[in-house]
Amino acid sequence: MAANEPGQPSIRLSDEPSLNYPTPKSALAIGAHPDDVEFGCGGTLAKWAADGCVIHHLVCTDGSKGTWDAGADTVALAARRQIEQRDAAARLARGVAAVTGEVRFLQYVDGELDSSLRERGDVAKAIRELQPQVVLGHDPWKRYRLHPDHRHAGLLACEGIVAARDPHFYREHGITHHRPDALLLWEADEPDHGEDISAHISAKLDALHAHESQFESTMKAVDGNELDVFDERIRARVEGLGAPFGVDAAEVFKLITSL
């Protein structure tokens, strides 16, 4: 697949990859745009939700540029994408209402996200308030990445953890500092961890289907037949990623536990 397709690219695994992090009590997935979380770790979140993990989403931009239509009403698109993201989050925790956490939007303009002190403070505040045991996000060091929002959102996940864990960062928050136990970065060039999502591919696809505004621009699907082709492409991708782990399907990450 192309280096800049979202989610789970082809990979070179480390020599001794780990498999299946223990289900955390709570997790926070940080995405650049609505739909990035579902591409990057939707199966993992669905699996953890089914096991009782409270799942939170933090979306950094408003998604207002997520269309090929030059005449689109971008304000309406941004509002629609919030609805889609909330629907997607609910689908990942379908049938387990007690684990549906918060869906938050920082609402920075799509394509204009930065990883400056202001944005870092916003992410650190969310981590302190939500107190996730595990954080998931884009790998900001992925080679040949074109979209700046993905890179900056990844940096914000990493830098936000540092700021959230140390009591003298952003003292104006007036919130107790919080240190997560682990960070999982998707889209990594050299991942060292896999999550078996064999039983949760359908949940990942169902959540992706919530993002109807993205069918044409991201999923290349303007009708039902093309959406079926998209589904088969995602299935083939995660099945291929599962093979090195000896499982039917996987999502892969760079796992960092020394936070």
Using a pLDDT cut of 70, give the percent of the chain over it.
92
Residue 11 pLDDT = 58
pLDDT digits (tens, 9 = 90+) for 135-170: 999 999 999 989 999 999 999 999 999 999 999 999
Domain boundaries of the chain, sorted by first residue: 22-256
Q: What is the mean pLDDT of residues 35-43?
A: 97
- Per-residue pLDDT of 70-116, as tens digits, reads 999 999 999 999 999 999 999 998 866 656 799 999 999 999 999 99
Homologous superfamily in CATH for domain 22-256 = LmbE-like (3.40.50.10320)
Own/partner pairs for 63-68, CB < 8 Å, 24+ apart? 63/33, 63/34, 63/35, 63/110, 64/109, 64/110, 65/110, 65/111, 66/33, 66/34, 66/35, 66/110, 66/213, 66/214, 66/217, 66/218, 67/213, 67/216, 67/217, 68/216, 68/217
Q: How many residues does the chain have?
A: 259
Task: Tell me the C-alpha distance between 35 and 84, whole Å.
Answer: 8
